[in-house]
Amino acid sequence: MKFIVDNQWPVALADWRVASGWDAVHELELQLNTSPHTEIWNYAKTNKLVVISKDEDFSHRASFTSHVQVVWVRLGNCRNKALLSAFEKQMSTIAAALKTGASVIELWPSADE
C-alpha cells in the first residue's frame, strides 16, 4: 500500500508512515498542496495511492468509485503526537480494511484518547 497525505495533515504523518515501513508521500512534497481535490484524486488514481485526508469530499468520492481508497481521519484538529498515536493504535485495522478492498476507512479517536 502506498499513501498520499492530504495537505491538511502535517508532513510528519507521511514521514512517520515511511519510518514505520509504509510507502507514503505528502502533497507538499509533490507540489500538489495548492491543487484542487480533483487533481489530487487523479494523481492518487494514476499512482494507485491511498488518500489520507480529513476532507469529507474524498470519502464521498471514494464511496461512489472503486478507483481510490481513502482513510478518512475523523480526529478533528489535534497535535501531531495525538495524530500519530491514533494511527499507531489503529494501523493494523486500517491495513486489514484496505487489503479487503474497503473504499473508505474512518479513523476515529480511540476510547483512551
- State the helix-helix crossing angle for 56-63 and 37-46, rounded to 10 degrees: 50
Would you say 104 and 59 are in contact if contact means Cβ atoms under 8 Å apart? Answer: yes
Gap between the Cα atoms of 81 and 43, Å rounded: 28
- Record the pTM: 0.92
Q: What is the pLDDT along the chain (113 residues), one digit of tens a residue?
A: 899 999 989 999 999 888 888 899 999 999 999 999 999 999 999 999 999 999 999 999 998 887 899 999 999 888 999 999 999 999 999 999 999 999 999 999 875 55
